[in-house]
Structure 1
Amino acid sequence: MIVDEVTVKAGPRQWAGLAVLMLPVLLISIDNTVLSFALPEISRNLRPSAAGQLWIVDAYPLVLAGLLVAMGNLGDRFGRRRMLMIGTVGFGAVSALAAFAPSADLLIAARVLLGFFGAMLMPSTLSLLRNLFTDRRQRRLAIAIWAAGFSAGSAIGPVVGGVLLEHFWWGSVFLIAVPVLLPLLVLVPLLVPESSDPSPGPFDLVSILLSMAALTPIVYAIKSVATDGIGVLPIALVAIGLLSGVFFVRRLLAQPNPMLDMRLFRVPTFSGAVIVNLVSVFSLVGFLYFLTQHLQLVIGLSPLNAALVLIPGVVIIIVTGLLAVPLVRIVRPGFVMAAGLGLCFTAYAMTAIIGSSSTVTTLIVAFCLLGAGIGAAETLANDMVIASVPPEKAGAASGVSETAYELGAVLGTAVLGSILAAFYRSSIVIPNGVSAVDAQAARDTLGGAVEVSSALPGGVGEALLESARSAFDSGVTVTSWFAAAMMIVAITVTLLTLRKARG
């Protein structure tokens, strides 16, 4: 449903406001993936388990996904700009604490807090943007820039991490938040007007808890299967998550003015766009998770050189995101998004076919294909979600869009990372002469195997390293085929739900 509204052409002040609102967008999306390049160093210094390493990555987007709709609702109620400012202060302070975390557990705790304050930032940016640009064509361009920044930030994260790790310790990847957020505190009050919903939905604490109870057990179950196999615990956790999800939906449907209007999902265009958003980020984050480790720990590139490999794909994400805007004037957006997901399928299939013989050149090509698909698909998906609601509900709608984004980031690491970890653990062969403690560290992560092998006698260390790299690549092959199959399903859903949507 496209809602009629009074449109006023945006001027220089509004475009300057967009530039300022891009700062938290870039920061939040960079924070989703900046740890990709830091993981090898973190695994060597903090020695997390395989599950702990996945939680270091996933704790942040998981909390973010669980709280985005709630924070969007609070922004609608108390003021979106006010929530943005509170989130800015909290995010900057916790980022500084995370940089100096002395253990894996404390780093995970800091990532949880970053997710809490990050959830205040994201719904505010998109809903404030919706109120800055009331003209439909200008808003589509603004959202394209916003979405391109979101996608590019996720891809830039590893590049930033690579550059920093070339010169500083792993905690430096968190300190980038401070200089980025300081200008926000000064410029937002000058350029971005406050906005809120005159009749917001109720702040529903029970629904918030149910949403977290639906997400967290399922993600934990996926990680548990990766490390310990299928058992009673993961099955019980999945059951708890699904049951909580059912109660969550039923509770919202029963309310006259719910925190999140689930009836929107009855509109094929809305639900299809949300799915495309989720799958796009799933494919990007999952690909980056094993690509960055392969470049550093298998091929042996330095963090900086590995980061440079990603730059062509980052540029393509931005370019295709902007080109998608004029393209939908002549091609229906559903077909453009399906084609984008088709490129993601091609990238994963190419990675799976090439396998352990992957070179830097072939990985650049694969990431460029993936970036082209994500840039187009995610830009249009965000635009279609936001265009489906009136301005006063922009906070809740942006919360849905960004929840899909963050849930995609969580599942990209949890699902693909867990499949990779499971196959790695089952394939690695520990040579004779390795102690039980070192053997466990080598089985947990590839980074652990690299660290252990460097301290072993020449022949034993080389045998362990070769076995670990081979096991990792075999896991990448299986993981890539799984992701490629998911892309086929996503393309089918996109064509079914969005084929009639017009640009």
Structure 2
Amino acid sequence: MSVTTAETDLPRTNARPWLALAILALPTLLVALDSNVLFLALPRLTAELGASNVQQLWVTDAYAFMVAGLVITMGTVGDRIGRRRLLMAGMAVFALASVACAWATSPLMLIVARGVQGIAGATLMPSTLALITNIFRDDRQRGKAISIWATCTFTGAALGPVLGGVLLVPFWWGAVFLLAIPVAAVVLIAGPMVLPEFRPEQARRLDLVSVVLSLLAILPVVYAIKVLSLGNGSVLSGLVPLAVGLLFGIFFVRRQLRGDDPLLDVRLFANSSFTLILTALALAGMILAGTALNVTQLLQTVLGYSPLASAMWFVPMGLCMAVGTMSTPALTRSVKPRTAIIGGMLLSAIGAAVLIVVNGDHGAWPIVLGTAVIGLGAGPMFALGIGLVVGSVPPERAGSAASMAETANYLGGALGLAVLGTIGSAVYSSQMDGVGSDRAQETVAGAADEASQLGSDAAAALLKTAHAAFVSGLNTVAAVSAGVFVVLALLAGVYFQRASRTSGD
């Protein structure tokens, strides 16, 4: 791929590429961090903004869905206007949207601002990876740099709840969004001096119709899942958007199959091995994000920990995920990748099984143990998954496959917040039926707010029922998670069996 900008040919010292990598690591960390940073702030912002159950979930979902839906699109935009230029523009918009999130005065304003954050976040991921590929021309150094880039993604996701909890001690809930400001300042000032521009001579045409169709397919389906699971309104109010989303999905697929230069190469899904491992990546991301959402809220709303204490209790999951991911290369020198991934998924299933039986009576330790085991077991899947996705397709399609793997990661996380968050909320609402006000029946934060206005006996009774309902929701989410991890282990087994037959082993 040729480059039209002369800046890429500037002489570099040995240190310059690594300095550029340090700059590119910042937005990578930020995008991943902002997908989870709200977990510990949700109870407080729900109470202060008066967000409903559905609004609360959209606050967490809007960001990740916009990132997932537009990553591939923004890669094409970067080809046309230049990767560094797109990175700078995206970083500036991300910072402005973060300020709007921090001082949002209503749930709707926060949801819209989170959506704009997601649009900007989608510009950052493909820009950073493309620039790394261009800067590091030695295959060995490039591999190391991409490994560091991938580690930043997992580190940011793990640090999100922790940093959010730390900031909530001295500041208001909106402070969790202001982490973007210093990062944007460093990237916008240092980026033009350190980063080269990168733009291929033959840039792909941006198919705006496909972009719109993809979003019209994803968002109505997610909305339908929320409505049907929570029981808000009639069944028809959920089935109509579901049908609309599926219809636009059909239009999107047909357009991709007919176009000479599709936005998404859906023909890759004809490769069963590719589809299997991509599905496994998305499902693993879904379970991790959904479990983290429910656990961080339980630590605060049921066990009564402060945001900072909840953040500290959440650290083991992030650390174990980092250990599982970073130790996988060494592990695969002793065992086969098949053994590492399948064993990891079964280990995560055991961690989820621990959460099925927790009841809050024994404090945070069983909960932290379960989430830590889940994170440790998921490490090999995330460490090896992208390589397996790319390796399952012909070399000329490797770029498209890598983009899909990145999209699957974010889409899986967003679905986890939507689907598992909705399942937990649905169980809570069903067990709170007829107890307290409508707000108390929607969220445990609403129940706590109502309890603060009641006498001691009535308040204690309401909170006891609400806490038990919330824990039941977590138990249900954990049961679903354990089942999905077992399915993932089976999918991995099928994948490696097919790969073995193909290679003739």
> TM-score when scaled to structure 1?
0.91
Unaligned runs of 5+ in 2: 1-12
Give the counterpart of 1:48 among 47, 51, 59: 51
- The residue number in structure 2 matching 1:251 is 255
Distance in 1 (CA, whole Å) between partners of 2:137 and 2:33 is 28
Matched, 1:169 2:186: no
Deviation at 1:152, TM superposition (A): 2.0
* Greater alpha carbon shift after TM alignment, 403-412 vs 298-307: 403-412
Q: Deviations over 1:248-282 (max 9, x none)?
A: 12211222222222233334454344223312221
1:380 Cα offset (Å): 1.7
**1:361 aligned residue (365, 368, 376):** 365
In the TM superposition, 1:95-494 aligns within 5 A as: 95-228=98-231, 231-357=235-361, 359-385=363-389, 396-428=400-432, 439-494=437-492
Superposition deviation, residue 389 in structure 1: 7.9
Q: Secondary structure at the residue paired with 2:206?
A: coil
| Unaligned runs of at least 5 residues, structure 1 | 1-9
Distance in 2 between the 1:45 and 1:321 partners? Answer: 38
Give the deviation of 1:364 after TM superposition.
Answer: 1.8
Q: Report the equivalent of 2:10.
A: none
- Asked if the contact 2:84/2:197 (under 8 Å) is kept, the reply is yes
Superposition deviation, residue 315 in structure 1 = 2.0
Report the CA distance between 1:456 and its aligned residue. Answer: 1.0
Distance of 1:58 and 1:173 partners within structure 2: 16
SS at match of 1:171: helix
Does the 8 A contact of 2:353 with 2:370 survive in 1? no
> SS of the counterpart of 1:217?
helix
Q: Greater CA deviation, 399-408 or 55-64?
A: 399-408
CA distance in 2, matches of 1:85, 1:465: 48
- Evaluate the alpha carbon distance shift between residue 86 and residue 386 of structure 1 in structure 2; reply closer, same or farther with a 3 A threshold: farther
Partner SS state of residue 357, structure 2: helix
Q: Which residue of 2 aligns with 1:38?
A: 41
Residue number in structure 2 paired with 1:24: 27
Query: Deviation digits for residues 175-208 of structure 1, max 9, x if unmatched?
Result: 1100112111233333332223333332111111
Partners of 1:83 and 1:335 lie apart in 2 by: 41
Native 8 Å contact 2:281 2:385 kept in 1: yes
Distance in structure 2 (CA, Å) of the matches to 1:190 and 1:330: 44
Q: Secondary structure at the match of 2:198?
A: coil
What amino acid does structure 2 have at the position aligned with 1:282?
M
Aligned AA (1:243): L
Distance 1:306 1:187, change over 3 A: same
1: CA distance between counterparts of 2:199 and 2:284?
Answer: 30
* Distance change in 2, residues 1:413/1:163 (3 Å): same
Paired residues in the alignment total: 488
Relative contact order (C-alpha < 8 Å, sep 6+): which is higher? 1
Could you tell me which residue of structure 2 aligns to residue 5 of structure 1?
Answer: none
Q: Return closer, same or farther for 1:358/1:351 CA change in 2, 3 Å cut-off.
A: farther
Q: Deviations over 1:32-59 (max 9, x none)?
A: 1111000000111011111011111111
Question: Per-residue deviation at 1:287?
Answer: 1.0
Aligned-partner Cα distance in 2 for 1:463–1:241: 42
CA offsets per residue over residues 93-147 of structure 1, 9 Å max, x none? 1101110011111111111111111111111122222333455544443333222
RMSD: 2.4
Moved more, 468-477 or 326-335: 326-335
Q: 1:119 to 1:346 in 2, by over 3 A?
A: same
Distance 1:423 1:315, change over 3 A: same
Query: Quick check: 365-374 or 447-456, which moved more?
Result: 365-374
Q: 1:344 to 1:196 in 2, by over 3 A?
A: farther
Which stretch shifts more, 76-85 or 102-111? 76-85
Which residue of structure 1 lines up, in the alignment, with residue 7 of structure 2?
none
- With 221-230 and 324-333 compared, the bigger mean Cα shift is at 324-333
CA distance in 2, matches of 1:47, 1:292: 20
Superimposed CA distance per residue, residues 211-266 of structure 1 (whole angstroms, 9 cap, x where no aligned partner): 11111011000111133267112222222222222221221122222222223333
Query: Residue 329 of structure 1: CA displacement?
Result: 4.3
- SS of equivalent residue, structure 1 residue 403: helix
With 66-75 and 264-273 compared, the bigger mean Cα shift is at: 264-273
Question: Residues of 2 paired with 1:149 and 1:459: CA distance?
Answer: 49
Change (3 A) 1:422 1:278: same
Do 1:283 and 1:344's aligned partners in 2 also have CA atoms closer than 8 Å? no
Distance change in 2, residues 1:400/1:196 (3 Å): farther
In structure 2, distance between residues paired with 1:76 and 1:331: 40
The answer to whether 1:68 aligns with 2:71 is yes
